Structure 1
Amino acid sequence: MSGSLEVIFRNKKAVVGLAIVLAYVAIAVAAPWITEHAPMQRVGRPHEPPSMDQLLGTTRMGRDVFTQLIWGTRTSLFVGFLAGLIVTVIGVTLGITAGYLGGWVDEVINFFTNIALVIPQLPLLLVIAAFVGQASPMVIALIIGLTSWAWGARVTRAQTMSLRRREFIEASELAGEPTWRMIAVELLPNLLSIIGFNFIGSVIYTIITEATLEFLGLGDPNAVSWGTMLYNAQTSSAIMIGAWWEVAAPASFIAVIGIGLSLINFAIDEISNPRLRTLGTVAKAAKAQRAIDRARVDATAPEA
């Protein structure tokens, strides 16, 4: 365990990404103590610019943008992590089941996975969200989670089929290990990098998709999230009247959490793929050698 943590903390992408994500989680948890206002409370005049009283200005309704941003962090992270968890659980369960059991079970699961993969994702979400009406954050999380599992299932199935033919799996089967133990003890630990990659990618996709649906007016206008903040800024023509802070605040938060999660994704890929780690080491060694060669050339060059 300590060795794994050491590998993680030696990866700069992992450290920076974890720092960003943990900072967002801390903001979400401490939202009631960070700001003294309620997110829907009117605290000033419409479209007040940032000041000492309102750090990020106010909206058209005179609501504090900073307060809405803090509470919106809690909502958007909740939707992202809930949908990511649903996507990961469904994808991993179906992928391992199809890849390990094979036969008609694999054919049935693969059939439904192919159907889910060929259906355009965003148009499907738009249709479902429009049919539901003003969907709450919980409903959006469920919609995304229940319709976005196919890619994770396909990748997990492929990796499981590769592991299925390994010698340690065949030896455990010959020893009479039950199926549940084969999956839980032998397969899952070797799929952790794929599972982590799937989860982080799903969280990024969910946060952006939720903001998109709410920006298009398909979310609950009474909920406070980054998407509804962008929707309210758009309906009040905030950019046209110069109230740039209403758009910049949620857009910046979405961009930064996307960067943090992407860095974690890249780090997982590097940690789980020895070739990428080797390439990084070779690049550093080559850079150091070039510096040494330049120093030698400078040292042997004749003085003017």
Structure 2
Amino acid sequence: MSTPITTATTEAVKPARTSRRSRSGLLHGLMTNRKAMIGAVILIVFILLALLAPVLFPGNPSRITALASQEPSAEHWLGTTAKGQDVLALTLHGTRMSLFVGLVAGVMSTIIGILVGLTSAYFGRAIDETLSVVTNIFLLIPGLPLLVILAAFMPPGVGTVIFVLIITGWAGSARVLRSQALSIRSKDFVAASQVTGDRAGWIMWREMLPNMASVVMGTLLGCIIGAIGAQAGLEFLGLGDTSTVSWGTNLYWAGNEGALLTGSWWVFLPSGLCIALVAFALSLFNYAVDEVTNPRLRTVKKRSATAPLARTENAV
């Protein structure tokens, strides 16, 4: 009876080493991937701007600094709002709040998705059925109406926005991660860990989760993108805390002050462009993760790269 346990133990060690190699391979692949590098550079620029915002524009960014509705100039690079506020100061300080809310809501949604997905896949039966029903309920409820209702009936504030985004964002990640965890649950190294007496939490944390690294990263990036967009949408509708400065509240005040009607494009364009650029950078990084971890995408890329050479050789 000792021989099977020894073999199982050996098999249990191999996936751990394989997962470490896969994580190092994922990191190396992302560092050599052009899409990942472009996305990382854009994100680093926004993070630096968010950190330097209090240094570049100390004090209250909403204070009146000049005449109202001035076009971009040497004094105010992005012009001023209808109240006379500096648009560049509002945009840079808004970066801090938008990135913070998006990151916190995205990380928390992913963590809840991991817990629900792993628990449902590992224990199965009644626990899986119960968690699947709860997940399906949240998936069936329309996201935008639920966001609006929750935000409208809760006190305004950053905490409320983050809570609403987490409540409406975890179910999708839980469904994706449960599907991946189910395929890993049936592997031999999971059964070997059970034979050796490892606890369920240890098996899920040390054996199953490391083999889901690429899926978890893709889910996290998707949750952050969704959180940033949803926050901007809520605040644009006036359901957030309009006393704070973020990209969403900048768009809200631009709409209320008639920037679109007066043609003051410099008031609403910077915040909208920042949201688009961050979403673009995260999407590039997400696609790079798929490209590095998916052999089919790598095969297609290699084929497209060798196709011109093949046509040249045939022509000769």
Answer whether TM exceeds 0.5 for this pair: yes
> Of the candidates 78, 81, 84, which is equivalent to residue 100 of structure 2?
78
Secondary structure of the 1:50 match is coil
Distance 1:291 1:241 in 2: 57
Distance 1:130 1:18 in 2: 35
Corresponding residue of 1:148: 169
Secondary structure of the 1:39 match is coil
TM-score of the superposed pair, with normalisation by structure 2: 0.89
Corresponding residue of 1:65: 87
Corresponding residue of 2:3: none
> Which ranges of structure 2 fall in alignment gaps of 5 or more residues?
1-22
> Of the candidates 285, 294, 313, which is equivalent to residue 264 of structure 1?
285
Correspondences of 1:124-273 after superposition (within 5 Å): 124-133=146-155, 135-273=156-294
Distance 1:281 1:170 in 2: 37
Corresponding residue of 1:299: none
Distance 1:97 1:269 in 2: 25
Displacement of 1:168: 1.7
Distance 1:150 1:2 in 2: 29
TM-score of the superposed pair, with normalisation by structure 1: 0.93
Secondary structure of the 1:239 match is helix
**Residues 69 and 84 of structure 2 are in contact (CA less than 8 Å); yes or no, is this contact kept in structure 1?**
yes
> Of the candidates 34, 57, 63, which is equivalent to residue 56 of structure 2?
34
Count of paired positions:
294
Higher helix proportion (structure 1 or 2): 2
Distance 2:151 2:95 in 1: 22
Secondary structure of the 1:60 match is coil
**Residues 193 and 272 of structure 1 are in contact (CA less than 8 Å); yes or no, is this contact kept in structure 2?**
yes
> Which ranges of structure 1 fall in alignment gaps of 5 or more residues?
297-304
Distance 1:75 1:205 in 2: 15
**Residues 86 and 146 of structure 1 are in contact (CA less than 8 Å); yes or no, is this contact kept in structure 2?**
no
Displacement of 1:175: 2.3
One-letter amino acid matched to 2:165:
I
Distance 1:34 1:7 in 2: 36
One-letter amino acid matched to 2:250:
M
Distance 1:205 1:92, change over 3 A: same
The structure, 1 or 2, with the larger RCO (C-alpha pairs under 8 Å, 6+ apart) is 2
Corresponding residue of 1:282: 303
Displacement of 1:38: 2.7
Secondary structure of the 1:148 match is helix
